[in-house]
Chain A
Amino acid sequence: MFDAFFVQQLVNGFSVGLVYALIAIGFTLIFGVLNVVNFAHGEVYMVGAYAGVVLITAWAPPLIAVVLFVMAVGAVAGFGLERLAFKPFRRFQDEASLKSKAMREATLLSSLAVSIIVREVVEKVFGGAMRPVPFESQLTDPVQIGELSFSTGQFVIFGAAVAMFAGLQFLLYRTRIGLSIRAVANNPLGAKYVGIDTDRTIIATFVVGSVMGAVAGILVALYYGSVFPTMGFAPGVKAFVAMVMGGLSSIPGAVICAIFLGLAEAVATEFLAQGWSEMIAYGFLLLTLIFFPTGLFGGARDRV
């Protein structure tokens, strides 16, 4: 059973898991601070991918320039998204509004609405079909190591995942803004009392999370070789599942679960028909919600 083919499947599953992890990191960061799911995160990922591909198609600059450009686009997208879909719902302070389900749902729906609008606009502008990445820029060059074959994209994605995870840990635990982000995630009211500008901190969180989402988008696009308007949906769902499995607001937990999910899907294709492996994520989601409502790693309720 542990033949080269199976190991190759694991390698590919690991890469897919890293893709989920890249998205899950920003997703979980934003959830940790606002305690609200940002349904538009998959669209930020998609917009990052399109922005990068448009730039590549026009000028074919080096990869690093593409990534920097996409980071800037992600930052603007995160800022805009927060102002548009989240800020308006934070002005209420009476208990009735704060506790009301309608308010929570309104915030959920507003990010969903933004995501739908963005997807539709991209579809109108660029068309609904898959749009190939110029071949020279694709990260699909094969790299043979023994019996296993890798592609350059897998290494880039691995490097990016490590860099983003480490960078975020550095930001959260070694910088002033990171301290503020963790404080707002832990206790938003307490954060106000120590003089933190919570609005600015929330914007910073969206910017950081969206920069990560956008960079994930372009890297994955270069790895798979194409972009399409709904490309954010499936990985967004997987990242969501990873976040829930990881305990909702634990970034390390989400990363581990994202990789696990990728591996599980790869193994499942061994035993199940093609379409069925898509059910894996939903199956895990159900099992987690039924048997581990606080995530797989026990009741660790630490935010961010």
Chain B
Amino acid sequence: MTHLLEIRDLRVTMGPQPILQGVSLDVPAGGIVTVLGSNGVGKTTLMRAISGVYKVGGGEIRLDGTPITNRTTHDIVRLGVCQAPEGRQIFSSMTVLENLRLGAGPRGGREYEQDLERMLGLFPRLRERLSQKAGSLSGGEQQMLCVGRALMGRPRLLLMDEPSLGLAPKLVRQIFDLVATIRETGTAILLVEQNAKAALRVADQAYVMESGRIVLQGPATELAEDPRIRAAYLGGHVH
């Protein structure tokens, strides 16, 4: 069976330093898969490699069975893989509307208008702020904009890199509700999180990373009960 996204033995090296040392994972069409792991284990590197921002040193990334390893980011976006990246990377000195416009890529006209309407239905806060500079939004609004911008690209696969980072608990809940809403539209999601508890609740499958390798994987409900996970990620320290 082929999945929407298949990653096999992925290796990424930065300068002399190996960062990913053979990562394999699958995302089924329409599913939610989460990658857990503490700071610095290589989650963002994995996301950047999938989007073609970092060069891949070995292994393969396939989308619908077709290799996309080391394709350019704009090719990968065009193939339907959009990312809400770490640090949000919104265009802070441009307006909210321009940010969403950029997310839509070359699509214009009625199609774009419809997508925009849909997005503003999903994020009513953004509608009030369309002509405001994106940099003037609150952290939560910026995160919404970041996800909205990625969705404007009509992804088949949405990559989300720690969307709940630095948000107040109420907003964190909103973000995870949003993840569930997006899935209902048929978009598959690869979610990187340090908030393991919330991530395991929305995800179907989960992978745990440690120093550039997958050390544990399985259905999210099973991992939520796994004593190792409970000790390391669901116990005392919450990021």
**Chain A residues near B (Cβ < 8 Å):** 93-97, 176, 179-180, 182-183, 186-187, 189-197, 301-303
Closest to A180 in B: B102
In this complex, how many residues of chain B approach chain A with their Cβ under 8 Å: the count is 30
Contact across chains for B14 and A95 when beta carbons are under 8 A apart = yes
Contact across chains for B105 and A94 when beta carbons are under 8 A apart = no
Contact across chains for B89 and A190 when beta carbons are under 8 A apart = yes
**Residues 10-37 of B at the A interface (beta carbon under 8 Å):** 14-15, 17
Given A94-B14, A182-B91; 18 other pairs, CB 8 A cutoff: A93-B54, A94-B15, A179-B102, A180-B102, A183-B94, A187-B90, A189-B53, A190-B90, A191-B91, A192-B51, A193-B53, A193-B77, A193-B150, A195-B73, A195-B77, A195-B105, A196-B102, A301-B93
Q: Give min CB distance, B69 to chain A, whole Å.
A: 16
B74 interfacial by beta-carbon distance below 8 Å: yes
**Residues 179-194 of B at the A interface (beta carbon under 8 Å):** none
Q: Give min CB distance, A202 to chain B, whole Å.
A: 13
Of B14, B102, B106, which is in contact with the most chain A CB atoms at under 10 Å from its CB?
Answer: B102
Contact across chains for A194 and B53 when beta carbons are under 8 A apart = no
Contact partner of B94 (CB less than 8 A), chosen from A95, A186, A192, is: A186
Q: Give min CB distance, B96 to chain A, whole Å.
A: 13
Contact across chains for B85 and A194 when beta carbons are under 8 A apart = no
Q: Give min CB distance, B20 to chain A, whole Å.
A: 13
Closest to B102 in A: A194
Q: Give min CB distance, A107 to chain B, whole Å.
A: 19
* Residues on the A chain within 8 Å of B73, using CB: 192-193, 195
Contact partner of A192 (CB less than 8 A), chosen from B14, B74, B78, B106, is: B74
* Residues on the A chain within 8 Å of B15, using CB: 94, 96-97
B213 interfacial by beta-carbon distance below 8 Å: no
Q: Give min CB distance, A76 to chain B, whole Å.
A: 25
* Residues on the B chain within 8 Å of A182, using CB: 91, 94, 98
The answer to whether A93 and B55 touch (CB under 8 A), given A193-B77, A194-B153, is yes
Contact across chains for A190 and B74 when beta carbons are under 8 A apart = no
The answer to whether A195 and B153 touch (CB under 8 A), given A93-B14, A97-B15, A189-B89, is yes
Closest to A303 in B: B93
Contact across chains for A197 and B74 when beta carbons are under 8 A apart = yes
Contact partner of B53 (CB less than 8 A), chosen from A95, A96, A192, A303, is: A192
Contact across chains for A186 and B91 when beta carbons are under 8 A apart = yes
Closest to B76 in A: A195
Q: Give min CB distance, B155 to chain A, whole Å.
A: 10
Contact across chains for B93 and A186 when beta carbons are under 8 A apart = yes
Q: How far is the CA of A302 from the CA of B55 in the complex (A)?
A: 30
Contact across chains for B103 and A186 when beta carbons are under 8 A apart = no
B149 interfacial by beta-carbon distance below 8 Å: yes
Contact partner of A189 (CB less than 8 A), chosen from B85, B103, B105, is: B85
Interface string of B31-75 (1 = CB under 8 A from A): 000000000000000000001011100000000000000001110
Q: How far is the CA of A195 from the CA of B89 in the complex (A)?
A: 13
Contact across chains for B72 and A194 when beta carbons are under 8 A apart = no
Closest to B103 in A: A194
Contact across chains for A179 and B98 when beta carbons are under 8 A apart = yes
Contact across chains for B94 and A193 when beta carbons are under 8 A apart = no
Q: How far is the CA of A95 from the CA of B54 in the complex (A)?
A: 11
Contact across chains for A187 and B105 when beta carbons are under 8 A apart = no
19 contacts between A and B (CB under 8 A): A93-B55, A94-B15, A94-B17, A96-B14, A96-B15, A179-B98, A182-B94, A187-B90, A193-B51, A193-B53, A193-B82, A193-B83, A193-B89, A195-B78, A195-B82, A195-B105, A196-B102, A197-B72, A303-B93
